[in-house]
């Protein structure tokens, strides 16, 4: 289907040296886009160009956009994937962890999208933004208060920025993964096999997701096949959020 092609398109994917971000960057590249990757640390396995910075640092997002447009002046796709989890149980949470969560997961993508959109508007070009949210944006999880709140904020950010940028032909959508096997989640899953089994029993498709499961959704939303879609969240969760109780135990 030609409308799924991303030929002659260019994308920046934040947090794309591993996990979901790496899979998305690979998927965009396989669909024809020129991809600028971003990460916190260098790795020989990541194709160039790869821009390094810690997005928790003040003004890091502006510097990242400057370098990304230098590497690819025709950039017209932005995937905001960088984010992380810093929670402790609610009664133990402190302001430092709260601020770090909101800085990286909410403030950084907001201003990154603003700077990206300003450049496209100045050049009178349309484009596409995909925010990587989570099922935690609509379903709370134990000992995950700040993270859950940040992902809920991204769900509304998708809608309100879609309203703001529609007049400029810039679409904003969200991909919200469920439980995905990544370098961030694997240690947690390996340490709690009983909880993983519980998740698998409640996921309609019967398995934990992989980063590649998110890539196709992102490619679709960035492509012309989704040219009439904006302000929407696409859940990539194997059906986890489709049911109230889950599958019956056997």
* Strands 50-52 and 10-13, sheet pairing: unpaired
List C-alpha distances in Å: 138 to 125, 173, 242: 33, 16, 12
Tell the burial category of 128 from Cβ atoms under 10 Å away from its Cβ (0-12, 13-18, 19+): buried
| CB neighbour list of residue 4: distance below 8 Å, 6 or more residues apart | 31, 219, 220, 223, 224, 225
| CB neighbour list of residue 1: distance below 8 Å, 6 or more residues apart | 225
Q: Determine whether 147 is an active site residue.
A: yes
Q: Which residue is catalytic, options 110, 147, 199, 235?
A: 147
CA atoms within 13 A on the CB side of 128: 27
DSSP 248: P
171 and 219 in contact (C-beta within 8 Å)? no
Catalytic residue set: 147
């Amino acid at each position: 289907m030609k409308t799924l092609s991303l030929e002659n398109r260019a994308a920046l994917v934040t947090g794309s040296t591993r996990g979901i971000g790496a899979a998305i960057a690979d998927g965009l590249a396989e669909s024809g886009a020129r991809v600028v990757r971003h990460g916190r640390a260098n790795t020989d396995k990541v194709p160039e160009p790869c821009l390094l910075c810690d997005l928790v640092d003040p003004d890091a997002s502006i510097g990242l956009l400057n370098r990304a447009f230098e590497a690819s002046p025709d950039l017209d796709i932005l995937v905001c994937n960088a984010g992380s989890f810093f929670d402790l149980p609610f009664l133990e949470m402190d302001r430092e962890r709260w601020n770090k969560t909101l800085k990286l997961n909410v403030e950084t993508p907001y201003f990154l999208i603003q700077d990206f959109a300003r450049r496209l508007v100045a050049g009178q070009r349309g484009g596409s933004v995909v925010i990587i949210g989570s099922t935690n944006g609509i379903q709370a999880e134990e000992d995950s208060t700040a993270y859950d709140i940040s992902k809920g904020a991204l769900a509304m950010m998708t809608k309100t920025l879609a309203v703001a940028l529609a007049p400029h032909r810039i679409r904003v959508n969200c991909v919200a993964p469920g439980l995905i096997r990544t370098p961030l989640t694997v240690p947690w899953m390996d340490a709690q096999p009983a909880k993983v089994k519980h998740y698998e029993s409640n996921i309609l498709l019967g398995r934990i997701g992989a980063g590649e499961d998110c890539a196709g959704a992102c490619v679709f939303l960035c492509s012309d096949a989704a040219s009439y879609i904006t302000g929407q969240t696409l859940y990539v969760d194997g059906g986890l959020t489709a049911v109230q109780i889950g599958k019956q135990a056997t």
